[in-house]
Amino acid sequence: MIILQLTLIIGGWTAPAMAITEEQKLVSETWRIVNRAYLDETFNHQNWWFIREKAIRQNLKNREETYSAIEKMLASLDDPFTRLLKPNQYRSLQVSTSGELTGVGLQIALDAETGQLTVVAPIDGSPAAEVGIQPRDRILKIDQFSTDELTLDEAATHMRGPIGSTVTLTVQRFDTTEIEEIELVRDRIALNPVFAQLRSESSVAPIGYIRLSQFSANATEEVANAIQTLDKQGAKAYILDLRNNPGGLLQAGVEIARLWLNDGTVVYTVNRQGVLGSFDVVSPPLTQAPLAVLVNQGTASASEILAGALQDNLRAQLVGEKTFGKGLIQSLFDLSDGSGLAVTVAKYETPNHHDIHKLGIKPDKIVPTKALTRNQIATDADPQYQAAVELLMSEFALADAA
């Protein structure tokens, strides 16, 4: 009898597995990417397989329900930088690093401590910059929508729109209780990342001024062209302005650092296994002329990689205020339905192994930010710019004395 019972159990009938739906496939595809690539292998100290099973067992009737399930799954990681990008959001992000877009021209992030929607930096020449919105200002509402109820990408979507249309932002100024309602007219946002000009404020030596606003796909080529042009015009020193530069492509940050450095490491990356990788200098610099770099609270991400590389390799001194403090690296992954996934895959360390996430980079010479109009940037009215000029001229004076 016992043998018969065992035989019946072993050879018993098993129900066929249920066919997986297209919606469940998308959830599973997302889960696999995060499982393979995410920086924190504890997945925020939770059972990541259990999270998958809970998500995939839902009765997902349509794509929007699937997106909601994926967003809930990703939210469990407590990482605002790891997020789903719906097809229209994914296309907009790809455009923002390679072409142009229409909107108000704000780079935004969720504050790591408060979760509030915070301005990283306004894009130079944009409607937001024209009305004086500043880094670290908090956006409380977009039209009638409270930003407490919006994801980062939903907030960006609400601010974008056709040229000539309007949007009202409710803004709380950084370090104050002042709240303003600001109506902005959306416009085409030019993404030409570089402005360059030879300056002759000093009788000692002409200075090449380069303002870099974003690390887009063409940023390296544009900075290289600027250095070569200014060199031909007689520049003997350079000021690289990274203020209010919210970052962009990691590779662009690395390549631009290589334009200035003679040797050394640009940045270290640390993956989930704690394995160090590095990006090193691979060719001679375009110039070895003295260099000062302007930074402020809107200097973030790839800008901090560049600033940290130049500071730690003693190639340049930083002037201004402590930087934003974003030391995490995201990669973009295509999903099968045309949406995308931004996943935190590594953190970075400066050449001296400083982890700057949530800490920022302290400049060599601290000069507080002053509210400036667009036309006052890099002029006599700009104390950070003037401090950089004085720093370079003192270097020339010391060289002459030696």
Would you name the residues annotated as active-site residues?
A: 301, 312, 326
Q: Compute the distance between CA of residue 71 and CA of residue 88 in angstroms, rounded to an integer.
A: 16
Q: Compute the distance between CA of residue 69 and CA of residue 23 in angstroms, rounded to an integer.
A: 10
| Sequence-separated contacts (24+) of 32-38 with Cβ below 8 Å | 33/333, 33/341, 33/343, 34/74, 34/77, 34/82, 34/341, 34/343, 37/331, 37/333, 37/343, 37/345, 38/77, 38/82, 38/272, 38/343, 38/344, 38/345
Q: Compute the distance between CA of residue 236 and CA of residue 366 in angstroms, rounded to an integer.
A: 24
Exposed/middle/buried for residue 380 (C-beta within 10 Å: 0-12, 13-18, 19+): exposed
CB 121 within 8 A of CB 137: no
How many CA atoms, within 13 angstroms, populate the side-chain half-sphere of residue 106? Answer: 35
Q: Compute the distance between CA of residue 353 and CA of residue 355 in angstroms, rounded to an integer.
A: 6
